């Protein structure tokens, strides 16, 4: 009996200790999570009130737009219409000049209150979710959800944006510029493969396109791997860059490692943009393939890790992406430095934006 008070006391102390532990864990997780998308959320947190209440941006008569689709946001900025943007999505991280805009949602959710305050004329979503469209039209906001999956889609969206934003000349100029850039990539690829008949390359490879696999890394090193298949934007760029995809499936598909290895790619490109939130070195990504020693890409050490987020993003940087792929396909092994000077230049902004991604 006389032990009771002691027991209660220790029990209380123990309970308190547990509670404190729990709170610490929660606090730690919250702060960790915040630091995770810190660079993205901080500017909006500060700029939110000012931007929402005094939309200094629009001039009279200009269409005010908000976009949660990163590639469309990027296109609007590239057209020179960034001044018409009043809100962006959580994953719209490029170019830097739009980072100060308030975040109005992401792929899944929209912040209705912010949208009501901002009152954009036009909202660009990635899916034309019927309920969202109806909701927004109740607020007097027009919603479009353009398809953005091929190179051709990009031109069509540019055209559409020109009409919607009332800036057809700017749209036409951007489209012309992009066409010229892509044509330049194609031309230089052809010129290079003509050069390659010279002693530098093995003669057998020169006439045929390089057999390439583009994969996305799996964080836990699983038995399956997500790869780029046919009928995708990345596949189009790959063919522009002079490669041929070893995968015959359509879309971005999950395949077993053994099936992929059996396709015998000559080059493996691992697309690891910064938005994974995980640090892995190139070596670690490459190590996932080390068991398939007689796959040509593994044998010849031609597994390249590309961290530029624009590689898979249909948008104004698609010519950069095509050029990046073309330059990568010409690298003899992963130990060699990127070939052209411009590659290093283009890599720099990509890396920067990769860090900014949540």
Partner 1 sequence: MRLTRQRYVITLIVCALVLILVSAFGLLMGPVDPLPLLREGRWERLRQIADFRLEGVVTASLVGASLAVSGAAFQALLRNPLAEPFILGISGGASLGVILALLFLPAQLVELQLSIGPVPVFLSSLSLAGFLMALLTIALVFAIAQRRGRVDPYRLILTGVIVNAFYAAAIMLVSALSGDKLRNEIIFYLMGGIGTAAGRWSELAVATVLVFIGIAIFMGQAKGFNLMAFGESAATSMGLNVNRHRLLALVVASLLAGLSVSLAGPIGFVGLIVPHILRMIFGPDHRLLIPVSVFGGAIFLVLAHSLLQIIPPEIGPLPVGVVTALCGVPFFILLMRRSGGSVGGSDR
Positions touching partner 1 (CB under 8 A) are 18, 22, 25-26, 29-30, 32-34, 36-37, 91, 106-107, 219-224, 249, 253-259, 261-262, 275-281, 284, 287-288, 290-294, 357-358
State the greatest distance between any 2 C-alpha atoms of the chain, in Å, as a whole number.
Answer: 96
Please provide residue 195's backbone torsions phi and psi, each rounded to the nearest 5 degrees: -60, -35
Residue 256 Cβ vs partner 1, minimum distance, rounded to whole Å: 5
Beta bridge partners of 88: 67, 103
Of the two residues 146 and 274, which places its CB atom closer to partner 1 in the complex?
Answer: 274
Residue 334 Cβ vs partner 1, minimum distance, rounded to whole Å: 17
Of the two residues 18 and 344, which places its CB atom closer to partner 1 in the complex?
Answer: 18
Residue 246 Cβ vs partner 1, minimum distance, rounded to whole Å: 14
Nearest to 329 by CA among 229, 248, 242, 247: 242
User: Strand runs (DSSP E) across 133-242, as ranges?
Assistant: 142-144, 210-216, 224-228
Of the two residues 224 and 244, which places its CB atom closer to partner 1 in the complex?
Answer: 224
Beta strand 142-144 with 103-105: parallel, antiparallel or unpaired?
unpaired
What angle is formed at CA 322 by the lines to CA 150 and CA 311, rounded to 5 degrees?
A: 70
Residue 124 Cβ vs partner 1, minimum distance, rounded to whole Å: 18
Q: Omega before 95 cis (within 30°)? A: yes
Residue 291 Cβ vs partner 1, minimum distance, rounded to whole Å: 4
Cα gap 291→261, rounded to integer Å: 10
Of the two residues 20 and 34, which places its CB atom closer to partner 1 in the complex?
Answer: 34
Of the two residues 37 and 121, which places its CB atom closer to partner 1 in the complex?
Answer: 37
Of the two residues 176 and 287, which places its CB atom closer to partner 1 in the complex?
Answer: 287
Residue 22 Cβ vs partner 1, minimum distance, rounded to whole Å: 7
Cα dihedral: 175, 181, 186, 191 (round 10): 150
């Amino acid at each position: 009996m006389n032990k009771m008070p002691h027991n209660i006391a220790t029990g209380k102390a123990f309970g308190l200790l547990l509670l404190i532990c729990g709170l610490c864990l929660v606090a730690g997780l919250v702060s960790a999570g915040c630091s995770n998308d810190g660079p993205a959320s901080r500017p909006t947190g500060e700029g939110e009130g000012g931007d929402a209440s005094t939309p200094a941006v629009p001039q009279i008569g200009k269409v005010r737009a908000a976009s949660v689709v990163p590639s469309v946001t990027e296109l609007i900025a590239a057209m020179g219409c960034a001044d018409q943007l009043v809100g962006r999505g959580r994953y719209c991280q490029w170019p830097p000049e739009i980072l100060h805009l308030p975040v109005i949602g992401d792929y899944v959710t929209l912040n209705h209150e912010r949208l009501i305050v901002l009152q954009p004329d036009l909202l660009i979503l990635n899916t034309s979710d019927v309920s969202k469209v109806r909701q927004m039209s109740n607020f007097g906001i027009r919603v479009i959800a353009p398809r953005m999956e091929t190179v051709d889609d990009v031109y069509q969206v540019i055209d559409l944006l020109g009409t919607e934003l009332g800036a057809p000349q700017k749209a036409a100029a951007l489209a012309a510029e992009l066409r010229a850039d892509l044509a330049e990539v194609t031309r230089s690829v052809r010129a290079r493969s003509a050069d390659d008949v010279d002693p530098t390359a093995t003669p057998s490879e020169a006439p045929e396109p390089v057999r390439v696999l583009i994969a996305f890394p799996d964080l836990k090193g699983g038995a399956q791997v997500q790869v780029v298949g046919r009928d995708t934007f990345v596949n189009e760029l790959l063919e522009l860059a002079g490669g041929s995809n070893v995968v015959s499936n359509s879309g971005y598909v999950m395949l077993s490692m053994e099936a992929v290895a059996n396709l015998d790619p000559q080059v493996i490109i691992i697309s690891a943009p910064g938005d994974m939130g995980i640090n892995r070195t190139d070596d670690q990504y490459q190590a996932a393939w080390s068991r398939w020693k007689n796959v040509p890409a593994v044998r010849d050490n031609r597994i390249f890790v590309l961290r530029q987020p624009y590689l898979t993003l249909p948008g104004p940087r698609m010519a950069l992406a095509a050029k990046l792929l073309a330059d990568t396909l010409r690298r003899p092994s992963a130990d060699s430095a990127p070939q052209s000077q411009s590659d290093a230049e283009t890599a720099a902004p990509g890396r920067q934006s990769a860090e900014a991604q949540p």
